[in-house]
Amino acid sequence: MLLLNIELELKAEKDNAEIKIENPSEYQSFVDAEWNIIYEKLRKCVESGAKVILSRLAIGDLATQYFADRGLFSAGRVPGEDLVRVSKATGGKIQTTTNGLTPDVLGTCGEFEERQVGSERYNFFIGCKHTKTATVILRGGGEHFIDEAERSLHDAIMIVRRVMKHPEVVAGGGAIDMEISKHLNKKSMEVAGKEQLIMKGFAKAFEAIPRQLLHNAGFDANDLLNLLRKKHSQPEGKWFGVDLVNEDIFDAYANYVWEPALVKLNSVEAATEAACVILSVDETVKNPKSDGKIPQDEMPEGLGRHL
């Protein structure tokens, strides 16, 4: 596999290009030289032994037919990020010249196939020795459906990535939130004064997570939240969360409904800081000129005043 960053096509001369000749027959030598240059580039690509030729720049009809006659696949105007990805997967090196195309600059893969998927054609590189990645093709009936599927898939991949880096996890489904709420309520009984009300309010805020999950699923949140409170009051119920499939509560940890602990810590910290910022705003100041009206006492002379 040969990866290029050069043009393989005949191009028209730029504007104001001049060629001075003494004999009209000499013009043919310039034309022949141009054709010889392009054919020399194509010959070197074929002699490199590559079966697939990709270029970030254009590959013209002449080069495409030249390669096709010799059983080679070629594609031009490949996006730069795709070319870099292919380079990493196949071990090939992107070349800016056709000189010195030794075997060590070529990439390899087990199988190459151009396949029709829906209304688009894709090039599949299968069995690459240097890659540890895979490509996922999302298909659907509408653009919004595809966007939502991409977002969900991206979130899932990022969560797995985070767990791989920080393997600590907690139970999802609102289980950890209910457990934090229980501990805060218990701790607030040891505090007197207004601090107790603040801690109780903070504890109640954590119940918003399982409540919102139940609302999104179309379930009655009050009954299930009461069951969660009762279960979390028991020592064996600390990992119990909402079961959105069966409209019930279940052991989220035992059923592999997990959340990265680092993500939960960051979300709690960010939400707490946002709430503190809002509560710290004790007064708002509005510019009287912001509504476009100028006060009477500030109106310049010469302009009519309202009676």
pLDDT at 290: 58
Q: Which two tokens stand for residue 148?
A: 């939502």
Quote the pLDDT of residue 295: 57
Query: Coil, strand or helix: which one is 27?
Result: helix
Residue type, 260: P
pLDDT of residue 153: 92
**Burial of 163: CB neighbours in 10 Å, binned 0-12, 13-18, 19+:** middle
Taking the alpha carbons at both ends of the chain, their separation in whole angstroms is 84
Alpha-carbon distance of 114 to 119, in angstroms, equals 13
pLDDT at res. 289: 64
Over its C-alpha atoms, the chain yields an Rg (Å, rounded) of 34
Q: Which residue has the tokens 């985070």?
A: 162
Residue ranges of the chain with pLDDT lower than 70?
12-17, 285, 287-307
| Contact of 249 with 236, CB cutoff 8 Å | no
Provide the residue ranges of all domains of the chain, joining segments of one domain with +: 2-12+29-126, 138-167, 169-280
Residue 77 has phi, psi (to 5 degrees) of: 55, 40
Report pLDDT for 301.
54
Residue of 6, 131, 2 whose CA lies nearest to 73: 2
Query: 56 with 75: CB under 8 angstroms?
Result: no
**SS3 label, residue 281:** coil
CATH (one of 1.10.560.10, 3.40.50.720, 3.30.200.20, 3.90.550.10) for 169-280: 1.10.560.10
Instruction: Look at residue 305 in the predicted model and tell me its pLDDT.
Output: 45
Instruction: Look at strands 52-55 and 2-4 and give their pairing.
Output: parallel
In the chain, DSSP assigns E strands to 2-4, 52-55, 73-75, 111-117, 120-126, 169-171, 240-243, 248-251, 258-260
Of 187, 241, 186, the C-alpha closest to 209 is 241
Compute the C-alpha angle 180/181/185, nearest 5°. 115
Measure the CA angle with vertex 281, ends 275 and 285; round to 5°. Answer: 145
Q: How far, rounded to the nearest angstrom, does the alpha carbon of residue 297 sit from its chain's CA centroid?
A: 56
CATH T-level fold of 2-12+29-126: GroEL (3.50.7)
